[in-house]
Structure 1
Amino acid sequence: MMPGDTSDFTGRLDEVTRIGRALAGDGRAGSAVPVVAVVGRAGIGKTALAVHVAHGIGGSFPDGRLFADLHAGADRRPSPAQVLERFLRALGLPGPAIPDGLGERAEVYRTLLAGRRMLVVLDEVHAESQVRPLLPGEPGWLQHGDAGVRAPLSLSPAGLGEDAKRLLRALAVLDSPDCPTWVGAALLDVREPVAQDLFDELADAQLVEVTGLGPFARYRLHDLVRLFARELPAPQDQVTALSRMVASLLYLVEQAAYREFGGGQPHLRGDTPSRPLPGPLTEQLLADPLAWFDSERAAVRSAVRQTGEAGLTSLCWDLARKAASFYKLRAYRDDWRETHETAPAVARRAGGKRGVAAIHVSTAELLLGTDSSGEVRRELDAACALFEEIGHEYGPALAVRDLALLDRLEGRHADAAACGERALELLRRTGTPVDVAYVLMGLAHLKLECGQVDAAATLLEESLALSVGHGARRLRAQILYRKGRALVESGEPDQGLEIYGRSLGIVRSIGDPIGEAHLLHDIGACLLAQDRLKEAEGALGAALEVAEGCGHRRAQEASLPLIFSSKTFQQMGSRASCCRWVFCLSVLTRTRPMSAIEERHPFIKRAARGS
């Protein structure tokens, strides 16, 4: 997101004009990409100038603007691959569709920008190697080599109060590029209004840059200021301050997860408790839990790394595990890999078997539903062995619950039922109501797949009752979805459609496009079975559109045959089936080999063989 323009920006008219003219280019297709570099010593307003120009010439770039802080001179700058991930998401590419490698991401990035007029602003560039993968084409000009310039910095903290100096020194320890007010309060162990006054003092001294207002204000140290601040006398309680800050961050992640997913798994956490923030502030920050996590994901990643380096083992693995649900939901694969490599390594060095086991479970949950079933089973087996070794009851219950899901996904229904019943027994004794509700829902899903509709309905009623009052909006939507399916399969389609509608309202309110695609597909299938063809076509078409928008291939494949059958039934009567095979083949072969399609869709194989 492009930072806001400085309201009192004055002067530099010549530079503004020259930069704007250079970036306008000649507008011819295929011409070199114009590149302008703004250089100078720290604190003279390079960023403010670049942002001011970007806002002033925005109309010349009708397809949008991209901004990235490359954090020059920092100990750990964001890699070009990480910046490209954020750019690709901003350009509308869903998380599951973003490739892993830098080269592949750069190729997709350039493909998406081809033919568009977009402005890209890269702040705090340290070396050419940072910039090259982020250019949308061949540059018209760029300095050669990776030579960097280290500008001299002369600052004096003499005018600052002692508490402001302490805050400046504490902020310099953090790896994250910016922070909100509550971070300063946690670092110094003061109330937020006190921290706000100290941040204002630093801003008046031009030692921090400010964006946003109120509880959403963020403060950023220029990297040369950060280096200068690290030369100030270090506080004796530096690790304690970091621990307080990360414990507060852990509290916010826990609260965001509770609002989004429910439960919280209180019986599997580290020895260091989270540090609550004031209630009104928490409510303001977490009004939209997913948006809050998206804004703090870099801080979470840095906090896992820094707590590991500081020997704060419990906070390290606890934060990594609590963030995992968001990583899976948002397909933040880079964040997941980094945090889930750091945390178990730290726990192993400290001899923390509980932390290692917890990350094994977390890793398995992130991999469930992918093509890595063997790895999932190995992770869960390793977790069970460690939990049993230390006599931990709750951890194995979670692992057995996940094994039940894995067995169901692999079609091993008997094993899935056995693991599910065992998990239910353990979690009724050691877990939370939400833990039990999840297992009941899984068992109900298994009953539905086995045609035991009445038994499934009974389990779903108990599961729904347990989910009330514990956050868990997403869980309630999933339970209602299965309840609607049970009603449809028991011959009550109108009631089923009504329950589907309730679930659809929840998934739309929480921004769950994958859940929305599945619901719309089942709504369309139900309408199709009732010969309500026009309504079915609308629901299935919407399912396909949503599935394509979020990159969910399974939902796309499930909807396509039904969509075409609804159309052809209306248009072609008895000839519909023949056209259905042709259409399915023409679309599905774009994404999968024929052998895989025939295995997944047996009716296509039969049709292709003329049977």
Structure 2
Amino acid sequence: MTTEELAEASGVGAQLIGDLERGHSRLPQRRTPAALGLSQADEAALVAAAGSERVVQQPGPAQLPPDLPVFAGRHRELAEALRLLDERTEGGATVAISAIGGMAGVGKTTLAVHWAHQVAGRFPDGQLYVNLHGFDQGGSVLDPSVALSGFLEALGVAQVPESVEARSALFRSLLARRRMLVLLDNARDSEQVRPLLPGGPDCLTIVTSRNQLGGLVASEGAHLVSLEVWSGAEAQEALIRRLGPRRVAAEPEAVEQIIELCGRLPLAVSIVAARAAARPHLPLAGIAVELSSAGERLHALDLGEPRADVRAAFTASYRVLSLAAARLLRLLAIHPGPEISLASAASLLGVPHARARTVSQELCTASLLTEHAAGRYVMHDLIRAFATELLEQAGESALARQRLTEHYGHSARNAYLLYGRPPIAELEAPEEGITPEAFETIAAAGVWYRRERGTLTAVLRQAAAAGLDRAAALIVLDSRPMSAVSDIAADSLPHSQVALEAALRTGEAVLIAELERTVGAMWARMGNAAAESHFMRALELFRSAGDPEGESNTLRSMSKNARFSGNLGGAIEYLDQAIAVSERAGRPQLLVPVLAEKSYMLQGRDQMAEAIAEAERGLAIAEAKGMTYYQIYLLSALTSALVPLHRFGEAVEAGERVLHLLGDHTEFLLEFGLLPDLALAHLATGNRERAREFHDRWDTYLTGYDEDQITSMAGGPQVVADNLAVMAKVRIGLGIQTPGASVMARSLVDAAEPEVSDPLLRALVAEIQETARAQAGGSTAGLPALLLARARSYEHIDVRRRDKLLAAMEMVFLTRHVTRGVSPRKIAEEALALEPSVSGAEAAADLLLRGCATLIAVGYAEAVPILRAALEALAHPRMLENGVPEWYALGTVAARIVWDDAAQHELSRRVSFGAGRDGALDRLRAALITEQTASISAPSRPPGDGTAWDSLGMAGILAWQGDDDQTLKAAEHLDRMAEEFAGAAAGLAQTACTVLALGRGRYRDAFEAACQFCEQDVLNLDHYLLPDLIEAGVRCGERERALEALGLLETKAVVAGTPWALGLLARSQALLEEQAGAEELYLRAVRHLEGTRMTGDLARAHLVHGEWLRRRKRRNDARLSLRTAYEMFVEMGAAAFAERSRMELIATGERVPGWVAEEPGELTPQERRIAQLAAARATNQEIAEELFIRPSTVDYHLKKVFRKLGVTSRRQLKPGEL
């Protein structure tokens, strides 16, 4: 057959047949890719697909390894994985890739396989699995091409392409429209994984690797799951599932120990479980013993199989590291701290920080190290054990230990030098490549120390054990300035003793002496008598060596020991010896720390002026010598001494200088003691925003440390309690209601009490305890007795004795009849025994104290001239140059006692302003109480001032307003306060009830409340309510008692002689005058009271005068007085008295429209009042007496009431409808 005949028969062109005969042509499927312009990889995929006619249809592959029969833990991670898958499914696609990372043995494969089995049903086209051998003992990593070949064969591809690109393309094409799960286990890196990734959105790929597959996350959008070791509960769950609950429960301590010794690593726990399961009669405690040997731990975690050997798992990771990373892993084994700094890693390697960071990052990527904070790394205990084996095999242990010791030794020395102190001993230059920490400020050094102190302790112990004794001793000595601020003594003592033992082995006297002093200081802070022997040995060594600095420092330490034990007198004596040593040596810089501490000691004895002088003396030297640290210390001392003297402006200046010198970071002790005083000073000078800032900064200490830490670091419970007391004032001033600080103050000082022996300090501790109780909401009843005890702890001529007696006296006027532990008279007698001052503020204070004491212990007539002299002194223009004294509020009480309304108003204004500004709680209470007691006569204060003590005034305001229910509720609250807080609250309740009852015309109630006030009076203050008792007594038939009260009122009012006093006296006399002379007395009362601020008393004088005139049928005259009273009451918002005046006006026949609403049932006000009394079962006679009308008039009005209301008898009257 010719070519043409063949072409005609086959339908193929003759040219093509010719090419085929010559072997030049390709099959159609081979020509198509070229025509389409496909790449070589895509051409291979297309050709393979074209030959897929030979693919045999079969079920999808199911290659997943078997799931563990017992899966423990990982509940959170599994739930998160399932949740992510659900979310993507609901969104129309699944999670494309999930990468599970973590260290060797953490359970990555176990979780991946378990998760894959959980979701396999969602992928009906099959599951593919491959172990990529990224980290295997043999070290041969599976090539992606080999893995793809296996996948393609599993998918039924008979002719697998040659290149990895073609295989990958074919793999993606085959899975493009399938729902399959692909598990890529034990990957080395992202490059190994990429060719194995499906291309379609309906597949799930799970990848496990010890390396952090950052590239996969960044470019392929993989979701990263980083596995940590098990929690303790998860590890215990695994043991229970493998060994049974009974065996695990039988040895709880051994189980806990095993879990911790395994580092909660799942592989390690599983190996132990397998060993225990194989030997069911072996106690778990025996396995714990095997694991507890650090050198044998990895041997105990090897079952003889590569997949059940912790060491083998780590070796696989170690083998792939670079030389530098492998060396760093070995060297880090010597690092004994809980975390590793980048700087220490650089010193171990002998490379710059940047290079050390790169190498450290390689270890983190391999999950052999974890960077838990920037430049801060942690290593798992089992990895450390593995690295220790490697380090010992390499023979690098000694060198690594030496380099690490030098790194921390020189870092501590760099910090020490910032404090302006000469080195205790020379330190050899560091080896080449060691890069110790460098600090710009003391604060930065303090931050470093607090972060590294655990490591420093471990390094010095390690150094001492290795014979590096001198280095160990110097680490402790160079860390002392920082440890004194940050450490708890009980924690510091053990390693200080290790350092002392190391110093003794060196034989260097200076090291021994300094560490004897250091150990003594630790014992002193713990209150242990062992401190004394260490101090004495140190003192002897320094004196023998002719070292005045060491001798002075030791005397300072002995002073602190005396202070901790409560012996302030002895403490100051030691400081005076230290001053003498420094002056003899002619070294003024040695005086600076001594003067700083003496300033604080003097403050502890309330000798503020002397404390300021010592602080200023030391500050001058520190500034001249450039001693920055001690400038900070002395300025802090100066601040705390200025605040109690109310020199707030100077305190702000000194305190702000401290913060400027401290910089961005602060030291605990300095800030803890400084911030309360500085906050109070800013509050006192009007800068509330700055005060709140300092309050909040200080408050972080209370939340960041427990009580033991605060007590130790701040220098004792007295210091803490004092600071808490100051900050309590700031809280009050800022309106922050947080009693927790007061509770803490009380518990801190309660703990200190047994250790305090100094009488002054014991009195201070007791006072702080009781103050803390009061600030936490408790009673103040015991404070006068404790303040008296504090006063007695001072010398008789000491001005501080007077000040404490003044405080006790002020508190007595608050506690009154509920005072506990001492009588007011006893305090008064102690005050009268003092020698008075002659001029200035001291004279004013003495006069005030003596006047109040005379009132209580001698009599009113004798007290008035003294109190008047005190008020004159208090009004002096220079009186408040240095702020409002603590005792100044007592002046408002004195003004009220002598009926001086102008002085009372001015002093109350000053005290309220000053107390609210600087948070002086007690002064604020006293001012409010005095103001509200006066409200009986001048109810001008608007209700609700927003203070915490607003309830003290609300009862009086409500009483004037005539609000029965709310007044009685407020009075009940005040009565409870009297029981829990102070007796003055009861006086306010009785005053409010008296006012309310007088306004409402319930004279019997008013009489009883006023009588109760007088009966409880223990301070000779009964004249506060005598005028009200007289009015109520006259109205309710208690004339004899009223006459008796008038006699007492006449005695006091005449002595006082003020318009207020004389006006009240005339009004009271008029009420009891039966003859025509009463009118002159009423008019005299009005004339006197018109010259005062007491508008309430004046209005009431007009009211009773008008009532008197109406009863005498002088209606026109009565209307004039009653209308004046009515208008005054309306203007001041005194609704109860306004209504009483209005009813009297109506009784005169005058119509009073407007202010009071019309009564229900069209009854007139008089008819309504009569109906109410009748409904309450009052007789006609009783109603007549109450309303000052005749019984016949009552009967007349009742008949009209019956007609209007449609009733026939008083029994049908219902109070609720009236």
Q: TM-score range by the shorter chain?
A: 0.5 to 0.7
- What is the alpha-carbon distance in structure 1 between the residues aligned to residue 530 and residue 109 of structure 2? 49
2:219: which partner in 1? none
Match of 1:592 among 750, 753, 762: 750
CA distance in 2, matches of 1:363, 1:313: 17
CA distance in 2, matches of 1:395, 1:420: 10
Alignment partner, residue 420 of structure 2: 263
The 3-state SS of whatever aligns with 1:361 is helix
**Counterparts of 2:580 and 2:480 in 1: how far apart (Å)?**
25
Distance in 1, matches of 2:371 and 2:432, equals 25
CA distance in 2, matches of 1:226, 1:489: 60
Partner Cα distance (1:181, 1:584) in 2? 43
Matched, 1:500 2:655: yes
3-state SS of 1:211 partner: strand
Q: Secondary structure at the match of 2:393?
A: coil
More displaced 10-residue stretch of structure 1: 459-468 or 119-128? 119-128
Distance in 2 separating the partners of 1:47 and 1:319:
43
Q: Do residues 19 (structure 1) and 178 (structure 2) align? A: no
Q: Does 1:461 align with 2:619?
A: yes
Q: Which of residues 387, 396, 409 in structure 2 aligns to 1:250?
A: 409
Find the partner of 1:299 among 428, 452, 455: 455
Structure 1 residue 548 displacement after superposition? 4.4
Cα offset, 1:539, TM superposition: 10
The correspondence of residues 65-144 of structure 1 with structure 2, limited to 5 A, is 121=231, 128-130=255-257
Match of 1:176 among 337, 340, 352: 337
Instruction: Give 2:369's aligned residue.
Output: 209
CA drift of 1:159 comes to 6.7
Secondary structure, aligned partner of 2:336: coil
Evaluate the alpha carbon distance shift between residue 369 and residue 172 of structure 1 in structure 2; reply closer, same or farther with a 3 A threshold.
closer
After superposing the two structures, state which structure 1 stretch, 501-510 or 411-420, moved more: 501-510
Q: Which secondary structure does the structure 2 equivalent of 1:282 belong to?
A: coil
**Segment drifting more, 277-286 vs 394-403:** 277-286
Q: Distance in 2 between matches of 1:239 and 1:194?
A: 23
Q: TM-score, normalised by structure 1?
A: 0.61
Q: How does 1:138-537 map to 2 (within 5 A)?
A: 145-146=284-285, 147=287, 148=291, 150-151=301-302, 152=309, 153-154=311-312, 155=315, 167-176=328-337, 178-192=339-353, 195=356, 199=360, 206=366, 208-211=368-371, 215-216=375-376, 222-235=383-396, 238-259=397-418, 262-266=419-423, 268-269=424-425, 272-273=428-429, 282=438, 288-333=444-489, 335-368=491-524, 370-372=526-528, 374-389=529-544, 392=547, 394-407=549-562, 410-412=567-569, 415-425=573-583, 429=587, 436-445=591-600, 450=607, 451-452=609-610, 455-456=613-614, 458-466=616-624, 468=626, 472=629, 475-485=630-640, 487=642, 492-503=647-658, 509-512=664-667, 514-523=669-678
Question: Structure 1 residue 557 and structure 2 residue 716: aligned?
Answer: no
State the secondary structure of the residue aligned to 2:527.
coil
Deviation at 1:308, TM superposition (A): 0.6
Contact 2:486 2:668 survives alignment (8 Å): no
Q: How much does 1:249 deviate?
A: 1.2
2:425 partner SS: coil
Distance 1:302 1:588 in 2: 36
Once the two structures are TM-superposed, the CA of residue 278 in structure 1 deviates from its matched residue by 8.4
Distance of 2:576 and 2:648 partners within structure 1: 31
Mapped pair 1:601 → 2:766: yes
Q: Which moved more, 1:152-161 or 1:173-182?
A: 152-161
CA distance in 2, matches of 1:295, 1:209: 19
Determine the structure 2 residue equivalent to 1:37: none
| Unaligned runs of at least 5 residues, structure 2 | 1-64, 81-101, 112-228, 237-252, 262-271, 274-282, 292-299, 303-308, 711-716, 736-740, 755-761, 768-783, 789-819, 828-1218
Q: Compared with structure 1, are the counterparts of its residues 356 and 131 closer, same or farther at alpha carbon in structure 2 (3 Å cutoff)? A: farther
Q: CA deviation at 1:312?
A: 0.7
Give the RMSD, CA atoms, in angstroms: 5.5
- For the structure 1 residues 312 and 496, does the alpha-carbon distance in structure 2 shift closer, same or farther, using more than 3 Å as the test? same
Distance 1:507 1:570, change over 3 A: closer
Pick closer, same or farther for the CA change 1:273–1:394 going to 2, 3 Å.
farther
Structure 1 pair 401–163 and aligned structure 2 pair: CA distance change class (3 A): same
Paired residues of 2:503 and 2:512 also in contact (CA < 8 A): yes
Distance in 2 (CA, whole Å) between partners of 1:326 and 1:518 is 16
Q: Tell whether the 8 Å contact from 2:346 to 2:435 is kept in structure 1 after alignment.
A: no
Residues 48 and 421 of structure 1: CA distance in aligned 2, closer, same or farther (over 3 Å): farther
Q: How many residues align?
A: 485
The CA deviation at 1:215 is 5.0
Q: What is the CA deviation profile of residues 297-340 of structure 1, one whole-angstrom value per residue up to 9, with x for unaligned ones? A: 33212211111111111101111222344334333456513311
CA separation of 1:299/1:46 partners in 2, compared to 1, >3 Å: closer, same or farther? farther
Which residue identity is paired with 1:43? A
User: Given that residues 635 and 657 in structure 2 are in contact (C-alpha distance below 8 angstroms), is that contact kept between their aligned partners in structure 1?
Assistant: yes
Query: Which secondary structure does the structure 2 equivalent of 1:592 belong to?
Result: helix
Query: Equivalent residue for 1:84?
Result: none
Which residue, 93, 104, 115 being the options, matches 1:43? 104
Q: Which has the higher contact order (CA 8 A, sep 6+)?
A: 1
Query: Secondary structure at 2:394's aligned position in 1?
Result: coil
Give the CA deviation at 1:43.
2.3
Residue 129 of structure 2: aligned partner: none
1:284 Cα deviation from its structure 2 partner: 9.8
- Return 5+ residue gaps in structure 1 as ranges: 1-10, 25-40, 51-118, 135-141, 572-582
Shift of 1:516: 3.9
Q: Which has the larger radius of gyration?
A: 2
Instruction: Work out whether residues 518 and 543 of structure 1, in 8 Å CA contact, stay in contact via their aligned partners in 2.
Output: no
- Alignment partners' CA distance in 2, 1:163 and 1:424: 54
Distance 2:694 2:329 in 1: 56
Deviations 1:480-527 (A, max 9, x none): 122335555777442233323443666794344554453354457768
